[in-house]
Structure formats: C-alpha cells, structure tokens
Chain A
Amino acid sequence: MDDARTAQTQEPPEVVVKSDEQYAYGFIMEVLTRGLYPDKLHVVREYVQNGFDAILELRKKGFGGDDTRIELKVSPPSLFIYDNGVGMDAQRMAEYRYVGYSRKLTAESVGFRGIGKLSGISAAEKIIVTTSPLGIPEQHKLIIDAEAMLQHVERLKARGENIALNQLIQQYTSLETTQEDPNAHYTQIELYKVRSDSLVLLDETRLAEYLSLTAPIDFNPTFQHGSQIDQELREYVTDYETAPIFVGENQVFKPFLPNAKPPQWIFVWDEDNPANPNPLAFCWYCENMDKGQFPDEIRRGLFYRVKNFSVGDNQLPRITLWRSSPERSFYFFGEVHVCDAGVIPSADRTNFEQNSSRERLYTKASEAISRSLNRIAGKSSDTRRAIDFVRQAEATILHIQEEAMVGAIPAELKVPRIVAISKAVENIQKRIQNAPEEFQERGRKAIEQGEILIRQIDQGKPTDSQKQSVIYDIKDELKLSDEARWVYETIISTLKSEFEGNLKQYERLIGQIHRQLRNRGV
C-alpha cells in the first residue's frame, strides 16, 4: 500500500490543569473506566453522545445537511464508531489526554464531564481516534494503549505504588497529525480488540436495540404517530434534536408499540415560579388500546430524556413519579423530555444528580403526569368495563331469549334466570354513563329487552298468548304421580341446596335429569 501521509509526531497544545488535579493518581483510571461502566453498552452511548454533539456543532455552524450521521460498524475484534460532525481540533484532541477535562457546556452538549471519551479503556485493548476538524487542513490520530496502561496500574498497585494520572495517560497515548482536506470533517473511534468481558459491543443486534432506546434518533417511519410527536417535540422542547444512526447495514429508529391510541401531551410547569415561561418537562404518551399494561416489558412505560438521550430505563419514571397504582405507568408508552437545565443526568445516566431541580421535577411531574395518567387509565378501565358489561348483558339476554322462545326454561331455573337478567340489567344501569355513545345505545336496548324478558319468565308466558309457554314443568309434562312428584321435588331441593353458589353445575344436573326422565318415558 502506498502511504502518502505526511506524519509528524505532535506535542499536544497546552491544556491548563488545576494544580490539585496533578495529584490525581493512576488508580483513578481503573475506577473511572471499569467501575463506571459495568454495563458495557454504556461505553457506546458515551461515544455516540460525543458524535451527536459534534453533529449539533456542525449544524450550528450552518453545515451538515441530510448526510450527517453516526455509524457503528462491528468488524471483530473491533467496533468502529464514526460521525461526520464538526470533528476535533488539536486542542480538543489534546484534552483526550486529560481525564475529566471538557470544554463542553451542560446547556449545549449532551456529554460534558470529559470522562466518556475514555470509556473505551474499560472495553478494549486499544482506542484509536482519528478526526479532522472542519476548516482546518489537519487529521489527528490518537492511540491509547489501554491494555498496557491498565497493566501498568495493576503492576504498581501490587507493589503499593502509584503514578500521576496525567503521566500515565501521556505515557500510553500517542498523537499524530497529518495533512487533510480543510473541508473534511469527521471522527472515527475504533475500540480495537474488544475484551472478552465486553463482547456485547460486537453484537450488532444488541447495539441496535440499546441505541433504539437511548439515542436521539428519529421515530420508526412505520409508527403512524411518529411525525406528529416529532413535530410537537421540536416545537416545545428547545434542545430536541435527532441524528441518523446506523448499526451495520440498518438505520436505528425509536421503537413504538402496536395497538396504541393517538398521542397526547402533558406540560409540567413550575407553578411555584410563574415567572418561568418554560416548562420543566414535556411529556408525550400513547395509551394501550387493549386492556391493561402493554406486554412489551422493555419498551412500555415512560422514559426520561435529556437532550433527547434517555436517562435510566422505564422503571425510573415509574419509581419517581408514581405514588399510587404504579402498575398503571405501563398502560402507556412515551417520553418525558426534561427541559429544566438544572436537572443533570448522573455520570452513569441511570438517574439524575440529586439536587433541588431534580426534586422539583419529580414533585411537579408526579402531580402532572402520574395523576393524569392514572386518571386516564382509570377512565379507560371504566369505559372498558362498561363495554364489557353491555356485551355480557346482551349475550345473557340473547341466550335466555332463545331458551324462552322454545319454552326450554325449566321451572326449577325460573328464578335463577330472572336473577341473571336482573343482574345484567343492573350492571348496565350502573355503568352506562362510562360507555361510549354506541354502547350506551346498545345498553339501553339491552335494559329494555331484559325487563320484557323478566316479565315473560315471571308470568311463564310470552306477551303473545298464542305462543307456547316460555317455561316448562317436567312434572306436568311427564304427568308424574303425587308420589313421584314428592320424590322428584325432594331430590331437586337437595340438589339446589347442595349446589348453591354453583348455578352452572345445578343447571347441568337439572338438564341431565330431565333428559333421563324423558328417555325412560316415566
């Protein structure tokens, strides 16, 4: 291969380090990296965050049309993460060699602690970063020999010795600058030789699933409400942005759950501070069209998002917002976009840093969101029950009407039939106001039919006296003797008391007895 690169080893531009930071020691590296990322997928999130920030910066400069993107490519033993954002200049690349140093502002960028860029140390033997900043004819290549660095720390640890953190990083990183097209702008990070405890980073399916739940990406185009939600978010959440992310051959989209009602919105305001014109949070949600919780345990519920990156999983809003009936949070899926800049994600992004803004968010969002959603869930449940009762009553009445038409109601079941119809009618009457219009109409009709049927059964005959009786008495039908009647009634009375509370069984036995008696021609 030809090599036209005009490489030169470059001294990093000076980064101002506070004097007390000089005394940070190598052990911290191990803690910061391995300790901070027990779930290795979070390593990817850190780099995707940086890529996303680079794309936002490019857009801010007026560049970056439709082709801006973040791409993840698994090529064992490496994971490549590429973005064509603004790129990093020499100064920013030099900062890679300083733990905890970041020029990013919390208000503008997703990542800001200056730790995430080194997260790959916990997952791979080498981290190779190649970047070219827009407008500067340079390409910088930084190589961190993570394996050698951590081995060094462990060797020292075994001897009870330590090393200054910055010295350690300088020792195991190299930075090289070559010429590049000034119009080029990109960053590629390679996690080379992903460690055996981090192999999840080489699983494209897992990466895509993880990013679909955490990253600032577009809604799945097949989600019919996606574009409407996106529109609302762009209007009400000032820092809401998206970028296309690809994993392998496929673009990753935000998931959605089927059988959902159209989206609804909730603004969370700080009523204690009416001067604040901005909401603390903006929530969208879709309710399950079916009964109860969505079955998908991963995607159901609400997710907190800050700058469109998720914070925590679907358990976090459930725990922090729901004081009662928390199971109802899973009757919905949606997002709570946090707009209050004082609410800051924790370093591992499983929660928010504990501060007064967080407490205010939890309190106000609990009032606004969980109460509303519980009410909606309750109302939906009432509606569903009202519909169910109308349907049940219709079925009960129809069944008894059919029996009555052919005179197939045994005298023994006259009362139970009347009770069944009365109950069905009563259930409708109690809940008819919760039912939708169509079911209210059907309910009223069922009540009317039920009342007619009760009268018919009570009187033992249909309204049209020419028709046969709705009730039959087996004793009369078989012309039983007095003695036989006495025996029959004794048996039926015993069965009735024995099967009290089990009407179905009682009915079944009555039917069988009648069949047997008829067959034997008693």
Chain B
Amino acid sequence: MTPMCSTDLFTHNKQKVREMDAILIERHFRSDLGNLRYIGLPASTLTDLAQWKEYFNHFSVVERGQPDQEFIYQHDLMLSAMRLGISRKLSLLRGDLDDVLLNGKDIFGNPVKYPFDVVSLDYSGGILYKDPTGAAKRPESISKLCEEQAQHNLDFLLFLSTNMDIQDQGEIKSTFDEIQRDLSKIGIDVSRTTRAYRDHPLLEARLKVYVPYMIRNLTSRWFRCTTFKPIYYAGNKATRMMHFSFWLERTDEAVVGRPNKQTIIQLLDLPAFECTDGNLRQTSFEIDVVETAVMID
C-alpha cells in the first residue's frame, strides 16, 4: 500500500514552481541525475523532495520547528521521510537555517556535509529578516554557504523562496540607488528604470531586482551568478510568495571578480512570471526595459 500524506499543503502554484525547478535541475545536471546532493528547508510534508527523489542520493534537511515544540516538527518531518521512502537518503539538521549554515553544524553538533548541487532556501520570515539583536544573518549565512561550496569547486543551483513579510528599513531603496550610481559611472543612465522599480506598488517588482542583485554581490567572490526569471504566486493560505532561481558557476580563483555573463542591465530587464492557478504569465511589471528607457532619454 502506498503511503499518502495526511495533508498536501501545496497549492497548484507551488507545484508549478517545483516543476520549473525540476526543469532547471535536469538542464544543469543531466549527466549526474541520481547522484545529486541537496540541502534545504522543505515543508514537513517533503512533497518537493519526494518528487525529486530520483535525482538525488542525499538530502540535508534543516528544520527549526516551533519554539518549545521544535522536536515535534522535526519528528513529523522524519515521519514524512519514512513514509515517502526517502529517509535513508535524508540527514536531519535541527535548528535555524542561518545558524546551521553559519556554524556549519546544527544545534546538536551534526555537521553540514558539503558540497551540495542544489540549495533551497525558504525564507518564511522574509529575505530582509533581522534577528532580535538587529543582525541580518541571512546574507551572512548565504556568504558562508558559498564560501564552503567554493572549497569543493562545484557549480550549484540556488533556489530561494521568500514571502512578502519584508521589514524594509531602506535597504531596497539604497540598492536601487547603488545600481543607478554604478551604471552612471560607465555612462549608462538607468534612473528612470530604477525609479520605476523603486516606486512600484508591488513589492514583487522591487524584490525582482533587489534579491538577485543581493545574491550576485554575496556570491561574486567565488561564483558567477545567472538569475532565472523569478516567479511570484499566492501560496498556502493565500500567502504572497516569490521564488528565485540562480545558477552559480564556480570562477577560477585567478579570475575572481570576473564580470557575470548576465549584466546588471539584463538583470533589470529580466521579466518575471506571475503564477495563477498553476499557470505562468510573463510580466515586466509594466516597466520599460533599460535599452528603451535609455533611448527615450
């Protein structure tokens, strides 16, 4: 008898996202499928891992759980793995994802066993989350992850999901200012475009540029970063979610700082997908692409 999940918390939209991720995995690891290694923060139902189980021979799964009941969530996650038949490939890391990545081990000292081919970060508290001390651990932990990955000289896919629970204290605005400033130094005026993004009523439009720009900067020391079209959608309980995918290509140490194949302008011009009822619709958020904007000016 095939075990069934008690409740499938995923929407059609999330399923579509998973399918798009699967396409990227297949495209980038065609010859290694079946031997891939994953680290991430999946839902306790492990639906995505179950769908990808043929691709991977190892899953490092991070689960923090709810305060005072963390062991119950971790227990349930392992139960899902057992029922889905992936427990033998699974390594459970207990604790906060950022702390686990920063410390290289979970709260019980279980080590993070690098390297990974696919890294899936699910930031339910928003990408700009700061802990009670005001520290922004997420960028730090991503840097640490890249540093560790770089030691193994392997390219990898990074998936990053975030909700719109963003407590922006001016970071997004200053990012657009920085983009404008950098490009103006080389004679390109993108002020109209960056202004359009910065002032866009949809947070998704701002994040579409902000998150990839942040990831490029965080990883540039070790990797060349290619951003794929992000997808935004309504998740479980109608939570607004945005999903990003990056291909991080290891650069030779001798060519550190080599420019990304994908330029900032291409990044600004990269459309996004809006996913509704499992259907994708490409959108530019009604913002003109940079070339057009430059020409008009």
Partner-B contacts on A (CB < 8 A): 1-2, 4-5, 63-65, 67, 71, 73, 75-78, 80, 82, 84, 126, 128, 130, 139, 141, 143, 178-181, 183-186, 188, 190, 192, 246, 248-249
**A248 CA to B78 CA, complexed, in Å:** 13
Given A63-B1, A183-B1, A184-B3, does the pair A73, B9 have CB atoms closer than 8 Å?
Answer: no
Closest to A249 in B: B88
Instruction: For A67, list chain B residues within 8 Å (CB).
Output: 1-2
Question: A73 → chain B, closest Cβ, in Å?
Answer: 5
Question: B39 → chain A, closest Cβ, in Å?
Answer: 15
Given A1-B43, A183-B4, does the pair A82, B92 have CB atoms closer than 8 Å?
Answer: no
**A77 CA to B107 CA, complexed, in Å:** 10
What is the total of A-B residue contacts with beta carbons within 8 Å? 89
Given A67-B1, A75-B110, A181-B6, does the pair A128, B82 have CB atoms closer than 8 Å?
Answer: no
Question: Are A188 and B108 in contact, with the CB atoms below 8 A?
Answer: no
Question: Are B82 and A188 in contact, with the CB atoms below 8 A?
Answer: yes
Question: Are A80 and B237 in contact, with the CB atoms below 8 A?
Answer: no
Q: For A185, give its contact among B1, B6, B79 (CB under 8 Å).
A: B1
Question: Are B87 and A71 in contact, with the CB atoms below 8 A?
Answer: yes
13 pairs, CB–CB < 8 Å, chain A vs chain B: A2-B43, A4-B9, A64-B1, A71-B87, A75-B92, A75-B110, A80-B75, A80-B78, A82-B79, A82-B87, A128-B71, A143-B72, A192-B71
Q: For A184, give its contact among B6, B44, B73, B92 (CB under 8 Å).
A: B6
Q: Is B7 an interface residue (CB 8 A)?
A: yes
Interface of B is mostly: mixed
**A75 CA to B109 CA, complexed, in Å:** 11
Question: A83 → chain B, closest Cβ, in Å?
Answer: 9
Given A71-B82, A71-B87, A188-B82, does the pair A180, B6 have CB atoms closer than 8 Å?
Answer: yes
Question: Are B79 and A4 in contact, with the CB atoms below 8 A?
Answer: no
**A465 CA to B2 CA, complexed, in Å:** 90
Given A73-B87, A82-B87, does the pair A186, B3 have CB atoms closer than 8 Å?
Answer: yes
Question: Are B9 and A186 in contact, with the CB atoms below 8 A?
Answer: no
Closest to B61 in A: A75
Q: For B75, give its contact among A2, A128, A181 (CB under 8 Å).
A: A128
Question: Are B3 and A188 in contact, with the CB atoms below 8 A?
Answer: no
Q: Which 5 A-B pairs have the closest CB atoms?
A: A82-B82, A4-B7, A75-B92, A2-B9, A181-B4
Question: Are B1 and A75 in contact, with the CB atoms below 8 A?
Answer: no
Instruction: List 14 extra interface pairs beyond A77-B108, A181-B5, CB under 8 A.
Output: A1-B124, A4-B9, A5-B7, A65-B1, A73-B87, A75-B92, A75-B110, A80-B75, A80-B82, A80-B87, A82-B87, A128-B72, A183-B1, A192-B71
Question: Are B108 and A76 in contact, with the CB atoms below 8 A?
Answer: yes
Q: Is B83 an interface residue (CB 8 A)?
A: yes
Question: Are B78 and A73 in contact, with the CB atoms below 8 A?
Answer: yes
